[in-house]
Chains A and B, each alone.
Chain A
Amino acid sequence: MGRSYRIPLPALAASAFVLVTLAIAMVFFVAPNDADQGFSQRIFYFHVSIAITAYACFAGGAWKAFRHLTRRDPRYDLESYVAVHQGVILGVLVLLTGSIWAKISWGHWWLWSEDQLVLFLVLFLFYCAYFMLRFSVDPGPQRANLSAVYALFGVVLIPVSFAAIRLAKNLIHPVVFTLQGPRFGGWILVTYCVAQAAMLVLAYTLYRVELAGKLLDSRLRELREVLA
């Protein structure tokens, strides 16, 4: 497989650090208080950014899974696994920050009547089950193929989860992105964009670090086999 150009890891890590610091500073010192929710709306900047980054990770995992199925290169299987892993960790953060925000805004930690929340939970549990499937099969081509097919099917849930909020009739969960664009502007939009960029760069940096570990682990296994 030909290696394409990749941004050096230290540069990525530095960018992630700068962007996350800038995003936090903007959230607390630049963005104005929301007219409706007041100070508690500041959870929005990271909650939504993390949710969209989680979707991006799942979509990336599906893309790598597709590449694995077409090329049968074990590296794509590893890349798909790491992307899904990142997505699940970000999913935990979405659920936690969402619950905290729900408690302060709605007075409940969780509402089963909200389609958006339940569908995101379904998506999250679906990808949790990915790990159960993966680790129930011995390492090798069969495990890689099964994992790839599962990751590829999971991507269907992303547009369902994203669209649920727009299809639901009884809404408590706010709709901030419509077909006409975001329903906010000014510093709120700028702060959100910085937070979104920060989350994407941070997630990609962590993806690269975890992937480096997985590749090292894989080489180590090969070395052990040679020495055995």
Chain B
Amino acid sequence: MVVSDNRLTNHTDQALVTLHNQAGFYNAQQYGLLVVTGKDAAGFLQSQLTNDINELKPGTSQFSCLLDRKAHVQAYFHLYKDAHPDNQSFYILTESHQIPSLVQNLEQYRFAAQVQFTDYSADGHFIAIQGPRANSIFALLAPEVYLNEMGHHDISDTIYSDYGIKIFRHSITGENGYFFWISKKNYAGFSKAFKSLCADLGFIELEDETVKKARIEAGLVQFGIDFNKDNLLPETGLIDKTVNYKKGCFVGQEILARVRSHGVPARAIIGVTLEGKNSEIIELPINSPILVAGEEIGHIKSNTFSPTVDKFIALTILKRDYRVPEKTFSAQIAGHEVQGTVTLPPFVKLQSNKDLAHKLYEQAVQKFVQGSEGILPTGAINLLQEVLILDPQLEDAYEALAVILSKHGRLDGAIAIMKVLAELNTDSVMAHSNLSQFYVQQGLKELAEEEKAIALGIRMRLAAAQMTDKLAEETEKKNAERLKRKEMFEQVLAIDKEDFFANAGFGECLVAEKDFAKAIPYLEKAIELKPIHLASYLDLAKAYKETKHKDQAKEILSAGITVATKRGEMPMLQKLQDEAKNIAL
């Protein structure tokens, strides 16, 4: 989704546009870090949490919840497994206010298990980056970290300007997002350097209000605001994200399974767009009752005006009967008369990485074209690298990158890029053609010829396949047309058996369908009605030949040749004579 700026009203709205189109950084100081260590950590967490810890590979993450015995949510968080295979540590990233009670609840069930919980919230801070182009921070911060670790991991460590940082993939806006954990003593220094890098990339600082708007637009629920310890997990809409029903026992599992077997919960979180009937809605107090004709149908949760969709949007907890997408209702909320429309979150469809990659590819090509001769276009190269990280299947980006490198004499890099592409797509003519050109530039004529031959071979194979497809398509089209004509002739014959066109046409269709015996009487009739119709002579001869009436075939061809000769119809005469020769053989 690309957001235009024609309806922006204030600074927050402008920041939201930048967030949706670029990225922004955010002092995520309300978030904390809990580390779970000990030789029994995995087994213990598996017995307590809703998601399947055993599915976590080193460096990956999952969302999870801790429930009470009655399946009420006690905590909701993002759980990471340390990237090092020998390290059995787990990291929990969540709002700081959840951590003390989470630890208390976990400790309550820990008896002999060797597990330690360490709350690092007081020792450091998080600074976050959110937005579709969040990845590009790594090009300046630590390219090798992203490409070696974060490209396929959710957690990593790195050092930037002597500051040790831990990176977590985590979105609080629905966009691409990362959280950087830094110790308190290094925070000021790192934060300054980090903000400077962000400024170089055109990323802005995000305020709480902007992040809140983006979160609600994305339909992301927050513990303590949209739900709390009184809510059953199925009421939160987090089941798919946090529960593995097959993992075995965990606290609250029995009740959860029971609620599941009963179908949908009586109340649950869903989106609603609201329109004020008499007054503009600014912001509604959280937990305001939603009254429809005096009946309380639910409560308002996170809510805001979304400049992106130009509507007032709210996450609400609604009764079952009202949770029907597009259902509308007139209600009274906190003194406002409103019209509500039930909407499945997210409220805003965000730009996919693929779409963004295409957009950036165009920009990179533009940058390259506009660049000065002889100077390596690092801007275009960086953009193309970002493109390939966002969409590693975009072949044009491989080519553009290789061509740029080759034009600046960096042929080994160009060749390596094309070799990777040739491996990914064995039918890539582009990869082998470029390789051929690059080898020529390196003076490797033999290899260049080899690559050229491979490219040619692929091209021919693809052309042949295309031709086969085309032929099949044409045959199918012809068959369909013939069927249509045959039906038409059949209808005419039902009315008039003496119609010449219908007899000739129907006979021709039957011959094409190889129904030779059936075709004979119609073609004989056609010739009887119009003795100069040479195509019918030819079709009838074929029908006689295929039904083993060779003499009759010869006879009719001879008659046809006589007619064709008399009329001087040379092309048809040639065809009749050729057919006569075939039969004689």
- Tell me whether A and B are bound partners: no
Which residues does A use to contact B, with CB under 8 Å? none
